[in-house]
Structure formats: C-alpha cells, structure tokens
Amino acid sequence: MRERKQLPYTQLEGLSERQLKEHHDVLYGGYVKKWNEIQEKLASTDRALANATYSEFGELKREETFALNGIKLHEGYFDNMKAGGSESAGMIKEWIEKDFGSYEKWLEDFKALGVAARGWAILAFDLDEGKLYNYLCDSHNQGGVWNSVSLFIMDVYEHAYFLDFATGRKAYIDVFFKNINWGFVNAQIEKYKLQQFRL
Ligand code: FE
C-alpha cells in the first residue's frame, strides 16, 4: 500500500487554497487510491488471459503507469514550489545556462512547452546524455524519455489553474514561476548524485 504524502500547498502567491487544497489535492489522492486498487487486483489477475486488444491484466498494467506517474509528477510539482519563491541558483542554474545557452532561453522554451502541452512541462536530466532536456507530456504516461530523472515539473492541466485563472494559462504560468523552490531542485541533483553522469 502506498500512502499519500502531505503536500505543502498553502499560501502560494496567486494560487488559492480552494484551487490547491480542495481540488488539486483531491485529484492527487485519487491517483494514490487507484494505484493501491490496481496492486490489489493485479495480485489475483489471470496472466494466461493476457491479450493486446483487451485483457484485465493488460488494462491494469496500462493504468498502473498512469496512476504511478500521476503520483510522482504531482509530488514533484508541489515539492518544487514554495511560498515566496526563489531565484534560480546553484548547480541547476549552471547546468541550465550551459545546456540551453542562458536561463532566459530555457525559460522561453519551458513556458512555451507549458502553453503547448496538454498535461505537463518537465525539465529532466538524461543519464545517458549527461544533460538537461525540456519535455512535453500530454498524459502522465506519455512523453517521458527512459533513463531520465525529472527535476522540475509544471502541471498545465486545466485542473491546476482553471478556478483561479479560467482559460488564462499564461497568467497561471507566470504565477507558477513566482513560487519556485530551486533549492528543492538542487537537492534532487544531490539526492540522485547526478554530477557523476554529467558529461
Ligand atoms: Fe494536476
């Protein structure tokens, strides 16, 4: 059984508690609940009936990654925000400047991703390439690249902003950037010891 984390959502600039706690948190909790339910069902599902068009086993495995990435991406999204925000600094700033030319160029690309994506904009570190990439994900289990570590995550599903901004996604993205916890992103680089993969 997976437990839901208590996420730090309150008092972010420009995002209401109603938006964050009453709605986004409920959705996040739903992914945890469904992942647990899928694990229970997998324990007794008949593998002999596996089929690519339809099978209970196939559908459970398909939705297992949807639910688990829904959990991981939401936890990362909330963890990389904090009240008051911060300026980009440290290792992540250095790597962004080297891999994208400048922080401003990275930001332009990442914000455009936020407008273009149907689900997520993600800054990830590719372990094989030893560098950073911006990725667009239209769904929790679509658009990611293997052997990559997600470092900085922005939720651009309508449920992340619609109560506060209606269709104003660009305004939401600007507010999101007022609440960034770059210290958390740098801590992720340390946690996964990513320096050793840097080429
Ligand atoms: Fe979300």
139-155 per-position pLDDT tens digit: 999 999 999 999 999 99
80-99 per-position pLDDT tens digit: 999 999 999 999 999 999 99
Centre of ligand 1 from the C-alpha of residue 198, in Å: 30
Centre of ligand 1 from the C-alpha of residue 156, in Å: 7
CA angle, residues 124, 183, 101, in degrees to nearest 5: 50
22-60 per-position pLDDT tens digit: 889 999 999 999 999 999 999 999 999 999 999 999 999
Q: What is the DSSP letter of 70?
A: H
- Write down the domain spans for the chain: 17-79, 90-197
9 pLDDT above the threshold of 80: no
Structure tokens at 189: 């680089």
170 pLDDT above the threshold of 80: yes
Q: What's the rounded Cα separation, in Å, for the pair 154 and 142?
A: 15
Q: How confident is the model at residue 6, as a pLDDT?
A: 87
What global pTM score does this model have?
Answer: 0.95
Centre of ligand 1 from the C-alpha of residue 73, in Å: 8
121-143 per-position pLDDT tens digit: 999 999 999 999 999 999 999 99
178 pLDDT above the threshold of 70: yes
Q: Across all residues in the chain, what is the average pLDDT?
A: 96
The residues placing their C-beta within 5 Å of ligand 1, an ion, are 155, 157, 160
User: What 3-state class would DSSP assign to 137?
Assistant: strand
CATH superfamily, with its number, for domain 90-197: Iron/manganese superoxide dismutase, C-terminal domain (3.55.40.20)
Centre of ligand 1 from the C-alpha of residue 110, in Å: 17
Strand partners of residue 142: 139
